[in-house]
């Protein structure tokens, strides 16, 4: 089993889009995937056309069993075989407060999900420094950091990389799999310059960029992934991401 | 002067880059230009050309499947059953040599 955390401390960089699309792409390739929504905005459910629920709170605070908090993602007319979700909502923020009050342990997520037997677990995280983001980095094997190609998002990226290094010093095995440039627009100098800066610092850890695409926003509005909405450039670009992730499987 | 946030954490970046996962040796998984995916026999020529334009040379597998499903739903009388039948087996020719 491989656990992947999707994180960047800047908001609006495509974390949830990447988490949902990658999870569904892996499921379409025959993998069993559990998607865990650690963002109190709870938008993993929204992006999949499902109701928000307090699954993460119930798992970590009220200690409900996994079977009680894992949900199917099935919707009519679409193939989501193998894709499961632990949804979140605003109570996820409360969970962080309770965990802190109880004496937060970095391995709380790893322990809570220890019995999961899917091929992949994917964490979508909130755009902030927080206990759950640290716990997700601790529990994960790989970090994928979506980064909009602008200055502010790059600053958010430095935040998550700094946190990653700090967590690794606590005996975490999490490795940087990729920085995924998002909202790329080759017509703007800002996009090109930021992408060049990222590549200069991080080399081949920077993957091929995902272009800015209206269809990705339409997908969120309709509760569909880009693999369900319509074939387009974004479909192809995220298919590349899925294939690259699969290429790192051992 | 333009700033570069990455320059503020060079020590962390060096440590992180020194411990990255390694991709497994990849077998050739995608048809080359002179190989014809099996899907070509199932799609009208225009749709196959559209597929090729979308997918470029790779990766075909996932894009092919998405386009195939989209096309079947629109054109096949019993699209869902046909999808169920197709997705249980490989839908493109793969050369694993």
Task: Answer yes or no: is pLDDT of B43 > 60.
Answer: no
Q: How confident is the model at residue B19 (pLDDT cuts 50, 70, 90)?
A: very high
Beta carbons of A154 and B6 less than 8 Å apart: yes
* Predicted confidence (pLDDT) at residue B10 exceeds the cutoff of 50: yes
**pTM of the full structure:** 0.82
Q: What average pLDDT is seen over chain B?
A: 62
User: What gap in Å lies between CA B30 and CA B61, rounded to an integer?
Assistant: 8
Taking CA–CA distances from B24, the nearest residue in chain A reads: A248
- C-beta of residue A92 within 8 angstroms of C-beta of residue A56: yes
Task: Tell me if residue A148 falls in helix, strand or coil.
Answer: strand
**Residue in chain B lying closest to A162 (CA):** B12
Q: Are strands A83-86 and A71-72 parallel, antiparallel or unpaired?
A: antiparallel
Instruction: For residue B70, list chain A residues with Cβ-Cβ distance below 8 A.
Output: 230-231
Closest CA to B9 of A103, A160, A8: A160
Q: CA-nearest residue of chain A to B70? A: A230
Residue B20: which of A79, A176, A193 has the nearest Cβ? Answer: A176
Q: Is it the case that residue B48 has pLDDT exceeding 80? A: no
- On whether ipTM exceeds 0.95, the answer is no
Place of tokens 């272009």: A211
By Cβ distance, the residue of A158, A168, A240 closest to B5 is A158
Rounding to the nearest 10 degrees, give the CA dihedral for residues A76, A6, B62, B31: -170
- CB of A23 less than 8 A from some CB of B: no
Distance from CA of A65 to the nearest CA of B (A): 32
Ramachandran region of residue A183, left (φ > 0), alpha (ψ -120 to 50) or beta? left
Average model confidence (pLDDT) for chain A? 93
The pLDDT confidence band at residue B23, using thresholds 50, 70 and 90, is confident
Q: Length of chain B in residues, anyone? A: 97
Task: Lay out the sheet containing A142-148: strands in order across.
Answer: A71-72, A83-86, A33-37, A120-124, A2-6, A142-148, A175-182
B-chain CB neighbours of A230 within 8 Å are: 70
A203 in contact with chain B, both atoms CB, cutoff 8 A: yes
Which pair of tokens denotes residue A68? 């009680």
The stretch B69-93 carries a mean pLDDT of 56
What pLDDT was estimated at residue B60? 54
Query: Which candidate from B21, B65, B69 shows the least CB-CB separation from A248?
Result: B21
Segments in chain A forming alpha helices (H): 15-28, 43-47, 55-60, 66-69, 91-101, 108-112, 131-139, 151-168, 189-202, 214-222, 226-229, 233-247
Asked if the Cβ–Cβ distance from A227 to B56 is below 8 Å, we say: no
B39 pLDDT more than 90: no
Do B6 and A79 count as a contact with CB atoms less than 8 A apart? no
pLDDT per residue of chain A (250 residues) written in tens, 0 to 9: 999 999 999 999 999 999 999 999 999 888 999 999 999 999 999 999 999 999 999 999 999 999 999 999 998 878 888 999 999 999 999 999 999 998 888 899 999 999 999 999 999 999 987 899 999 999 999 999 999 999 999 999 999 999 999 999 888 899 999 999 999 998 899 999 999 999 999 999 999 999 999 999 999 999 999 988 877 888 889 988 998 999 898 7
Which pLDDT score, from 0 to 100, does residue B83 have?
Answer: 54
Question: What was the pLDDT predicted at A162?
Answer: 93
Q: What is the pLDDT of residue B24?
A: 74
Of the pLDDT bands very low, low, confident and very high (cuts 50, 70, 90), residue B97 is very low
Q: Is A176 helix (H, G, I), strand (E, B) or coil?
A: strand
> What's the gap in Å between the CA of B27 and the closest CA on chain A?
10
């Amino acid at each position: 089993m491989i656990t992947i955390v999707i994180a960047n401390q800047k908001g609006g960089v495509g974390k949830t889009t990447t988490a949902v699309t990658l999870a569904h792409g892996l499921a379409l390739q025959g993998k069993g995937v559990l998607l865990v929504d650690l963002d109190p905005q709870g938008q993993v459910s929204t992006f999949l056309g499902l109701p928000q629920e307090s699954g993460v709170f119930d798992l970590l605070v009220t200690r409900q069993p996994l079977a009680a908090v894992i949900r199917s993602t099935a919707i009519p007319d679409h193939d989501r075989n193998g894709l499961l979700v632990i949804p979140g909502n605003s109570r996820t923020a409360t969970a962080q407060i309770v965990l802190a009050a109880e004496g937060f342990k970095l391995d709380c997520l790893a322990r809570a999900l220890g019995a999961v037997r899917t091929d992949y677990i994917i964490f979508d995280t909130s755009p902030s420094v927080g206990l759950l983001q640290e716990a997700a980095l601790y529990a994960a094997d790989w970090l994928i950091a979506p980064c909009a190609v602008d200055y502010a998002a790059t600053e958010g990226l430095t935040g998550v990389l700094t946190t990653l290094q700090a967590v690794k010093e606590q005996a975490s095995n999490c490795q940087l799999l990729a920085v995924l440039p998002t909202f790329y627009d080759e017509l703007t100098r800002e996009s090109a310059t930021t992408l060049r800066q990222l590549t200069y610092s991080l080399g081949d850890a920077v993957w091929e960029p995902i272009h800015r695409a209206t269809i990705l926003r339409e997908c969120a509005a309709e509760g569909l992934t880009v693999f369900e909405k319509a074939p387009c450039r974004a479909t192809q670009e995220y298919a590349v991401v899925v294939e690259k992730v699969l290429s790192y499987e051992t | 002067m333009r700033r570069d946030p990455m320059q503020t954490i060079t020590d962390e970046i060096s440590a992180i880059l020194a411990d990255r996962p390694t991709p497994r040796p990849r077998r050739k998984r995608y048809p080359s230009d002179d190989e014809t995916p099996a899907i070509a026999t199932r799609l009208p020529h225009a749709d196959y050309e559209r597929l090729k334009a979308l997918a470029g040379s790779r990766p075909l597998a996932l894009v092919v499947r998405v386009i195939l499903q989209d096309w079947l739903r629109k054109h096949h009388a019993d699209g869902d059953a046909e999808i169920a039948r197709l997705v249980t087996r490989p839908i493109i020719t793969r050369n694993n040599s």
